Structure formats: C-alpha cells, structure tokens
Structure 1
Amino acid sequence: MKILVTNANSRMALCITRALKKKGHDVVVADYIKNSMCFFSNKKSDYFIYPSPYSDPDGFISFILEKVKTLNIDVVFPVHEETFLLSKRKSEVEKHVGLAVPDYEPFLTVHNKDKLYDALIQQSIKTPKTLYLKDFSDYNEIKMKLPGKVVLKPRQGGGNWGIFFPDPVFCYNEQIKPYLKDLNVDIARVLVQEWIPTQEKYSHVVIYQNGQFIQDFADIHVRDFPLSGGSGVLRKTCDASPMTEISKHLFDDIGWHGMAEVEYVSHAETGEFYLIEINPRVWGGVNSAITSSLDIVGMYLDIAVGKRAMPGCYKTDVQTRWFWGDMRVFPEYFNKSKSKFGAAGHYLHLLIDKTKTDEFYWDDPMPFFAWPCHTLYKMFKNRGFQPVAYDSLTGEWD
C-alpha cells in the first residue's frame, strides 16, 4: 500500500515511516514545515509540504485530498494534532482514502480535560480532583479546596504546554497572575488539578475498531522531560493488565475507534492507579511499542481499510529513548542527582548499551541531525532558549 504519514517533522512520524517501510509499504511523508525530519529519511519514497492545519484548516484538508488523488494514496496515517482536524472532517476524508480515527464527539470527550473529568467521575474512575481556575477570585483560596501541591494546565493542550506547578508555600496570587499573563489565554480554559504523589508514571495505549477493544500496550516512564512530569524520554515496556480494565471501562462506553494513549500514575502511598489525561492520537513513545515487536502500524492499516485487526503481543522490559529530549533534561537530572558521578555514568552507559533511540538508526542516519538544527533555528529566530512551535492552535478544537 501507499501510505501518507503527516507531521513529518516529528520523531513519531519518523518511527512510523521506518516501521511501514520495513513492512514493504510505499511511504509518503508530509508537513507544513520545510526541511522536516522525515524529508531526510531514506525510508520515504516521496514528500510534500501542505498548508498549516492550524492557520489554514480548509487549505490543509483540500491539499491532502488533492495529493491523495494525484499520488494514489491508500491510507492517511496522522501523527499529531492534524489528527483532530481529520477527525472533525472524517466523513469527508473517508470518501477518498483509508483513515482510522475516532468520531469527533468522543474525540473531544477525552481530549477536553474538563469533559474527561466529568466522564471519569461518572464512571467512578480514580482521577485527580479538578476545578476551574475562573471560579477563584482569590487564588489563595485554592489552598482551602486543594491543600498541598497542585498543577495548572489548559483544558486542551499537549507536549507540556501551559503546565505550571505553583509552590504551595508561597502566595498563589503572586505566582498564578504572571503565569496567566505569559500563557495569554482565556482564564476559562485553565484548570487547576490536585497533584498525585507518584510512585510510577505509565503510558497505556489502547487500540479499538468500531467500538471493539483490539489491543493494549504499556510502558513505564523511567525519566520525563521535564523531570517533574511530561513526555517520556526514557521508557521501559511493562505489563498493561493493571490498567486494561480501567481504560476499557471508559473507551467501551464511548465507542472508541483507532488508538489513544492514556497517562496513569500509581499513588506513592496506596499504589492505586490514577488516570491523569488522554492523548487521542499517536503518542510520543510510539517507538517503545514498535521496538518491543508490537505491530501497531499493521493494526492501524487494517482498521483504516476496514479489515479486521488482530491482536498481537510485545516484549516487556524493552528500553527506548528519545535521545534529544533526554539531552535537554540532562542538566536538571544532573543537578538533582545525589551522585553527580552516578548521573553522568548513567548517561554514558545509555550511549553504549542496547537502548534504541527514536531518532538515530545506522541505516537511516540523516534525520537524527534535523531536530537540533530546527531547535537552534527557532531559538535564534525567537531570541530565546525556549524553542516554540512553528505554528500552533491559538484557540481550541471545538
């Protein structure tokens, strides 16, 4: 089959492209960003640049459908937030090409953190207590309803955008007001959530076909970026069964289709699993599943073309690494480590052991260098050390 993989400047798209090529498929990659990571991969057969799905959603859909026709694309494999737009326009897109994304209503149910919270409470699934920031005229009153540590986050968003941990020792007003100014969004979009003391953090992935559970997968976040909690930069596959029934309880009820990643933490004192949030798309650690021999791309293709997807199995204790993300977190990890020698030795060991990285493969080396080049370019362009997205959604998917 000929497959179109979107969001080609991401390591997730790169991992998917390599896995599809290994299975013998013809892979076309695309993004709205010039010189995207996958454009340099020798595993792709063709590439193109499309209009931004954020600033020109109609142009994006029209261009994709045009390329589907001219390039004879069989299946579109969306990777990041363009998945949201393809879900929203699903009925239109599916007339022309295979696609495995959920309907838009269940999509928003799990993506909007406030809607998700209501659904979890209704089904008695453990999740951190969540409140609207707009309901507080004095932010110090948060301490009365949520004593201890809290986290502020947008109702929609991913990739650690907008995540803020105010220090409960100090005045919340003095911390939250500057945060809102920097975030520059409507306060109605911001939630305040109870922080759960964490023993382990997990990614639990479910795959559904027309409301029927097909497969799940899980890994432990050995290290995140940032360390306080975020994207997994060092991961180890594990048994998914402690989370399976919890996730199924939710996704069975809403009739899911396609894949989704559910983030869990186990409570440091009780060991109970708490559902934190859901990413209804390809997740950052997809290479963890691929490397552990789970045919996740094959299952996606079967679902996209209407063929019955069959469950598989994967190896546990397989470690994978987002190399450049792990490099970014190294200073924080080093400074917080009790043994500086041990921290440095751990990183050096990862360079020589069998831990697979998301980016670098000996038979496809060039994409590895694209990510730091883009990061340095954005830092220079924006005159800051915090790289920002080339384009992003200023509002919300609704």
Structure 2
Amino acid sequence: MRVLITNGQNRIAYAALRSLGCRGISVCAADFIPWAMCFSSRYCQGHFRYPSPFRKPQECINSLIENGRRQNCRILLPIYEETFLIAKYQDRLKSHFSLAVPEYEKMLMVHDKKRLYEIAQRLEIPTPRFAALSAPHPSHYPWLEEARYPLWLKPRQGGGAWAVVPVASFEELLRRWTRPDLPYGLPPDRFLVQEHVPGPIFCVAMLFCQGKLRARFTYRQVRNYPLQGGVATLRVSDRHQGAESSLQRLLEALEWHGVCQADFAVDQESGLAYLLDVNPRFWSATHLAVICGVDFPYLVYQLAAFGDIEPALEHPIGIQSRWFWGELRAFWEAFRQPGERIKALKTYSRIRGADSHFDDLCLKDPLPPLVFFIDSLRRMLKQRSLTLRPHDSLDGVWE
C-alpha cells in the first residue's frame, strides 16, 4: 500500500521516508513549498504540492484527497503541524485513507501548556510552576518575586523552541508583562512564564492504540540550537523510569491513539522529572528511534493498515544522532562566544563512529540534504538571521 507523507520539507518527514523506503514500501511525499527536501530523495516514488494548511485549510484537505487518489495512496502519514488539521478532518479523510492520528480535541488539550499543566496536576504528574500572561499583573502569582531566575517565556501553543525567550529578572518580567514586548508582536494571552528546572532534558516518545501502549522510546538531549533553550542537535538514547511513567499515565488517562512525544526536565538535586511540554505528533529525533529499533513511522504505518501492532518497548542505550544543519549553526554560535573557540572546535568536531548517526545526511541519498541546505541558506540571507522562521505557520495556534 502506497503511503502519503506530508510536510516533505523537514528532516522528520525525511526520517519517515527513509524508514519506509528502506523497507520497500512505496511512498509519495507532499508539501506546500516547491523545494521540499523529500521530493529529491531516491526513496520518493511521487510528490505533489498542496495549498498551505495554515492559510487555506479546506483547499489543503481537498488537495490531499484529490492528489492522493491520483497517486494511488492508501495510507496517510501526517508528520508535523499539519497533523492538527488532518486530525480535525479525519472523519472525512478516513473515506479515502487509512490513518492513525489522535482526536483533535485531545491534541489541543496537550498542546496548550496551560491546559496540559492543569491535567497533569490532577494526575499528580510534576510540572514546573507557571504564570499565564493573560492575568493583568504578575502580583497574581506571588511566587514570581521569589523565584530563581532566569524563567522561560513560552507560547501556550508551539514547539521546536519557537518564540521561547529567557527572562533574566523579575524587573524584565514586569516590563514585558505591563508593556507587552513579546516575540513576533503576539498578544500576552498567547504566552505563559515557566519556572526553570535545572537539570538534563529527557524526552519520551510513545505510540498508543486506543488507549493501550504499543511503543516507547526515550532519549536525552546533549546539545541544542540556540545554545540556551533551543532544539536538540545532538541526543543519545537513554531511559528514565519517572518520565516514562508520567507520560504513559497521561496518555492512558486520555485514551490516546497515535504517536506523542514529551519533554521532561529532570531536577539535578531531586531526580524528579518535571513535564515541560508535549508534541502530539512526530518529533525531531524520530530518526534516532528508528536506528534504535523502535521504528515509529513503520509502526504507525502498520497501525493504520492493520488496526494494531506488536509492542516495541525496549531499545539500546548510548546510541547518538545529530542534526547536521543544526550542529553547524550551534557551532557558529558557540565559536563566537568570548574565549570559547578552541572548546567549540573540539566539541563539535568529535564523532563517536558507529554509535553516531545523522538525521539529515545519508551517503546513499545525497540530494535531499543538499536541497535543504540551499533552501536554508537562501532564507538566512533573505531574513538576515541564523534563526529561521518557518515558510508558513499559524504562529503556534490551533483552535
């Protein structure tokens, strides 16, 4: 059965494409930009463009149905933010495709950090203290004056370090709160302030079938871009029982169906795992799970095609994956720090051989990373920034 993969412009879709293509499964890729990296892959058996899922949602759904039929696609595998739109219209799409996605309302519940923390607290899952900027003044949250700074200013909806800003002091927070100075000029009710939990970041990914756990994978973030609070560029497979137990309890309570990934900060003193946020879709380290034997794209394909799968709950520890393009940008940021040039050169040039892999580089399939590099370079020059805004988005909001 041919599979239709969306959001062919990013490395997550490329990981899914390689996973299925290497198994001999025919894959068609789609996106709303003409230079999506997956279009040039040797594993891509067909491709097409659809209208922006953010600006023209109905036209996007119509295009998926019409072009999917032309390409003889039987299974739909949504990858990134368009997963929300596909979940919203899944009843209509199921007349044309087999798919395994969560219910739209449940996705919104965990995507909105304020709603997520309220659910987690009822389930006795640890979360950092937070304050919603929809309140008229910081005095509504007395803990803010005595908190250990920096705190993190984050959008209530959003992922991938989008619009995340450190707040160095209570004075800075008061200024941002009373005279809104927020990322991208967005209104205060779109943001909250989150307490910083010092310690490593563990990430847990799971696949559920109608409320039952079917696959699990855990990894630890090692390096990020931007260096503080950014997206992981180097991760290593690991385990953390507390984080795994918390996410499983949350998804069981929601009777989840499909994939989900969550970030936890593990307090360096107590060892307690604090739930930070949830991605109710595929995530940036999907390729690491694949090479560790928990092949989420293939498992979701099987779940959509056959209705259930055999559990995949174990994986090796110590396997690394790197996001090559992210590592380059992180290296440049580290290299520019005063007195850090030698350290940056040593840190970012170190490769661990057989236990280290790249998300977005494949010697057997060289064109996609080249296409991604050219597109990113073009956008950096146009935007005059190493931190790129997406081609198109709803700025993190789904309703």
* TM-score, normalising length: structure 1: 0.93
1:377 corresponds in structure 2 to 378
1:355 corresponds in structure 2 to 356
Structure 1 residues 171 and 142: CA distance shift in structure 2, 3 A: farther
2:262 corresponds in structure 1 to 262
- The CA deviation string for residues 164-218 of structure 1, in whole angstroms up to 9 with x for no partner, is 11111754344567873542222111111111112x1111001100111112100
- The CA deviation string for residues 142-165 of structure 1, in whole angstroms up to 9 with x for no partner, is 732645321111111112111111
Whether 1:234 and 2:234 are equivalent positions in the alignment is: yes
- The CA deviation string for residues 321-350 of structure 1, in whole angstroms up to 9 with x for no partner, is 001001111133345697643431232222
1:97 positional shift: 0.4
Structure 2 contact 213–311 (Cα < 8 Å) conserved:
no
CA distance in 2, matches of 1:108, 1:36: 27
CA distance in 2, matches of 1:217, 1:337: 38
1:302 corresponds in structure 2 to 302
CA distance in 1, matches of 2:265, 2:134: 27
Structure 1 residues 186 and 47: CA distance shift in structure 2, 3 A: same
- The CA deviation string for residues 3-47 of structure 1, in whole angstroms up to 9 with x for no partner, is 111100101111110110111100101100111111111111111
Question: What secondary structure does 1:153 align onto?
Answer: strand
2:190 corresponds in structure 1 to 189
CA distance in 2, matches of 1:195, 1:218: 22
1:384 positional shift: 4.4
Whether 1:57 and 2:52 are equivalent positions in the alignment is: no
1:111 corresponds in structure 2 to 111
1:86 corresponds in structure 2 to 86
CA distance in 2, matches of 1:269, 1:127: 16
1:315 corresponds in structure 2 to 316
CA distance in 2, matches of 1:281, 1:384: 28
1:247 corresponds in structure 2 to 247
CA distance in 2, matches of 1:369, 1:349: 22
Structure 1 contact 7–13 (Cα < 8 Å) conserved:
yes
Structure 1 residues 337 and 5: CA distance shift in structure 2, 3 A: farther
Whether 1:3 and 2:3 are equivalent positions in the alignment is: yes
2:31 corresponds in structure 1 to 31
Structure 1 contact 262–275 (Cα < 8 Å) conserved:
yes
1:96 corresponds in structure 2 to 96
Which range moved further: 235-244 or 4-13? 235-244
Structure 2, unpaired ranges of 5+: none
CA distance in 1, matches of 2:325, 2:148: 36
Whether 1:208 and 2:218 are equivalent positions in the alignment is: no
Amino acid at match of 1:328: R
Whether 1:167 and 2:179 are equivalent positions in the alignment is: no
1:158 corresponds in structure 2 to 159
Structure 1 residues 61 and 125: CA distance shift in structure 2, 3 A: same
Structure 1 contact 224–232 (Cα < 8 Å) conserved:
yes
- 1:139-158 to 2 correspondences below 5 Å: 143-144=144-145, 146-158=147-159
Percentage of pairs with the same residue: 29
1:42 corresponds in structure 2 to 42
CA distance in 2, matches of 1:171, 1:383: 27
1:13 corresponds in structure 2 to 13
- The CA deviation string for residues 273-302 of structure 1, in whole angstroms up to 9 with x for no partner, is 111000000000001101112222221012
CA distance in 1, matches of 2:85, 2:266: 33
2:131 corresponds in structure 1 to 131
1:330 corresponds in structure 2 to 331
- What do you get for the CA RMSD once the two structures are aligned? 2.2
Which range moved further: 326-335 or 216-225? 326-335
CA distance in 2, matches of 1:137, 1:234: 39
* TM-score, normalising length: structure 2: 0.93
1:371 positional shift: 2.1
Structure 1, unpaired ranges of 5+: none
Structure 1 residues 337 and 307: CA distance shift in structure 2, 3 A: farther
CA distance in 1, matches of 2:266, 2:81: 28
CA distance in 2, matches of 1:305, 1:145: 53
CA distance in 2, matches of 1:395, 1:165: 18
- The CA deviation string for residues 31-70 of structure 1, in whole angstroms up to 9 with x for no partner, is 0011111111111111111111000000000000112222
**Structure 1 stretches (4+) deviating beyond 6 angstroms?**
139-142
Structure 1 residues 136 and 208: CA distance shift in structure 2, 3 A: same
Residues matched between the structures, number: 397
Structure 1 residues 346 and 181: CA distance shift in structure 2, 3 A: closer
